[in-house]
Chains A and B, each alone.
Chain A
């Protein structure tokens, strides 16, 4: 399939749902239509910020990441809502279901965006009409607006979907790149964050055009392999294929939290690490995965951020084990000053069914007991059917906002 996708000139769509959470709320409750709606997390704490808002709210100057108090100042009649993830998840699944009716090559990227390879599907009506009918279909059936970028590759499609919002359709051909993109600052390009932009400006690269024509050797020295890739993108070149399976290539599972205030008390920080470990563990459990590496993230008051990790002796998925390692990593790497954000990430996760375990001289008898138990369970299941015994785990209980968007997309396969 990959070879096939590579050989022919492709037509790729990038679908980006417009202010997805807010739109879903409006679709769910039509009385909100035409009103300024915003979704925000806990308003009392520092992370109480706007997650997304409707275009009506944007007209007042409200935007995502804005603190709630500031948003209310700009738009006093703003309708604030707590996120309802079940609702968004359902809408997202329906949305991707519609997309799959238009192509078998659908690659979900997150809850509200995805790529479609329609090369073999648009047929006689042409790619633009095909995209229009997808957009209409989603609007008619789900009452959700979207923007679609049409291009020969993923990078350009993603860039194009950003060009016209809401309900836009934008075609970006490779030959249009110099005219449409090159005058834009490099930081506007997908894949270039603040840090990369800073590095680029240090060598005199300010616009996407500068990047497109810059010496690839220097870029590689500056940014590693990413340098070549970014230069290609700036020239409208991107060879990545639309891969419906990519969402299943989970390599890491992490949770982080911005602390309600800067904390220096070790015990408090430990408690937060424990809580994060618990979240990571329950996500691993939910997906039947185990971590073979563990990382922690420490961001200090001065915003300096450190990632430190280790390879685990045995794959882990239990909250207690994860927090134990997380605490050790923290203790080794914390400089004692005020912490603003903490994170725990399970790296290079493997499927639990393929995880082997090096037994331990001091604990092997516990493993022996577990095996006996598992054998007993499977023989019961054989006798009385699958439903006879279930683990007492409340699935999804701990899925958190920031992680949830990707997790649920994988759900279908499990």
Chain B
């Protein structure tokens, strides 16, 4: 293997793969990055066995030569080392050459590194995913639905299944839902569905990494599913993720159908008010804010012993049903309101010990559900 490559493109490709590489792995070779030079370009691979990322750097792009390929071949190099070396090289181009016994020289200007590589054949095979019958989604939309759901996944491993986001594709829509059992976020978008129903759980961490790696654009990503893998394929990046095994709770049954109180509030005003109250609420363990309605007049307050208290009123634009006094974690409400683009938010309460639901007034695509805090 011997190539001369533009350094910035190599760095970009390596950085993308690094998102999948961790030093804490049971398989030593996975601390490496795999480089494989084919006739039309360089493929870089990084993996932690949960997530695998493959980036492709074409030899030629829009008439510019990005890689001068002198000899095809492949090698595995210690990822942390390789990435640091190429970042610090002096010139705009890098020459990579694999010699005997996987010894690899990295040359740039007058600098020359010789590092020991490993046989690329020892690198594990990436999952095989049939790349036909895929689903297509614009990058922007994909990133939005990830952002609106992934924050609600569980961060503890008590119920491993809740660390993922549930994707269900059927009846012309894609439903994404996440819950850490204290709050739930559900997003529904119209989607071209196929005969077979898809119901999978993608690890939250995978979606976060995917979101970071995709560059905002109107381009589309193709998605392929297998029984235990999902592949997101964009122009030059293939992103594989393991799926979580198990059955996700039935979301529709968790969202209460009945309503005791409905309140419509200005989304921004409500958000700001809760945010202010949370300055003090943060000082108590459950970050609790008290929400008291007196018809349209809503009082937001928080009290932390030995720290202090805060009280403020906001005016609801609509009020229906019984007055109530309910406590909740300010963080959860802030997170939920941030996913709502509408000027106004509708809150449906079903009882002080029961979940309440937040929705944009003119937007049915997103449903936020929050469990209150029980105070004594």
Contacts and interface: CB of A to CB of B under 8 A. Distances in A.
Interface of A: 292, 313, 315, 350, 352-362, 364, 367-368, 371
Contact of A356 (B354, B355, B369, B373): B373
B376 A359 contact: no
Interface of B: 156, 179, 181-184, 249, 254, 285-286, 288, 305, 327, 329, 351, 353-355, 369, 371-376
Contacts of A356: 285-286, 288, 327, 373-376
Most chain A C-beta atoms within 10 Å of own C-beta, residue among B181, B305, B375: B181
Contact of B376 (A353, A361, A364): A353
Contacts of A368: 351, 353-354
A354 B305 CA distance: 10
Contacts of B285: 292, 315, 350, 356
Contacts, number: 57
B374 A361 contact: no
Given A292-B285, A313-B156, A353-B376, A358 B353 contact: no
B249 A362 contact: yes
Contact of B182 (A315, A355, A358): A358
B375 A361 contact: no
B371 to A, nearest CB: 4
B353 A371 contact: yes
B369 A359 contact: no
Contacts of B184: 361
B128 to A, nearest CB: 34
A315 B375 CA distance: 12
A315 B286 CA distance: 10
Given A292-B285, A313-B156, A360 B373 contact: no
B375 A358 contact: no
Given A356-B327, A357-B374, A358-B329, A367 B353 contact: yes
Contacts of B354: 364, 368
B370 to A, nearest CB: 9
Given A315-B285, A350-B285, A371-B353, 6 more contacts: A356-B288, A356-B327, A358-B286, A358-B373, A358-B374, A359-B372
A313 B162 CA distance: 15
B358 to A, nearest CB: 15
Contacts of B254: 361
A321 B183 CA distance: 21
B156 A358 contact: no
Nearest to B157: A328
B371 A361 contact: yes
A315 B373 CA distance: 12
Contacts of B374: 356-359, 367, 371
A400 B323 CA distance: 49
A353 B305 CA distance: 13
Contact of B371 (A292, A353, A358): A358
Nearest to A324: B158
Nearest to A350: B285
Contacts of A357: 286, 373-374
17 contacts: A313-B156, A352-B376, A355-B376, A356-B288, A356-B375, A357-B373, A358-B371, A358-B374, A359-B353, A359-B374, A361-B182, A361-B184, A364-B353, A364-B355, A367-B353, A368-B354, A371-B353
A353 B373 CA distance: 14
B156 A359 contact: no
A368 B354 CA distance: 8
Give the residue among A354, A357, A359, A362 with the most B Cβ atoms within 10 A: A359
Contact of A360 (B181, B286, B288, B327): B181
Contact of B179 (A315, A353, A358, A361): A361
The 7 closest A-B pairs by CB, nearest first: A359-B371, A356-B375, A368-B353, A357-B374, A361-B181, A360-B181, A356-B373
A48 to B, nearest CB: 40
A103 B371 CA distance: 51
B256 to A, nearest CB: 10
Contact of B369 (A352, A353, A361): A361
Nearest to A353: B376
A360 B376 contact: no
Contacts of B369: 361
B376 A354 contact: yes
A313 B373 CA distance: 12
Given A355-B376, A359-B353, A364 B286 contact: no
Contacts of A354: 305, 376
A292 to B, nearest CB: 6
A361 B372 CA distance: 10
Given A356-B327, A371-B353, A364 B373 contact: no
Contacts of B373: 356-359
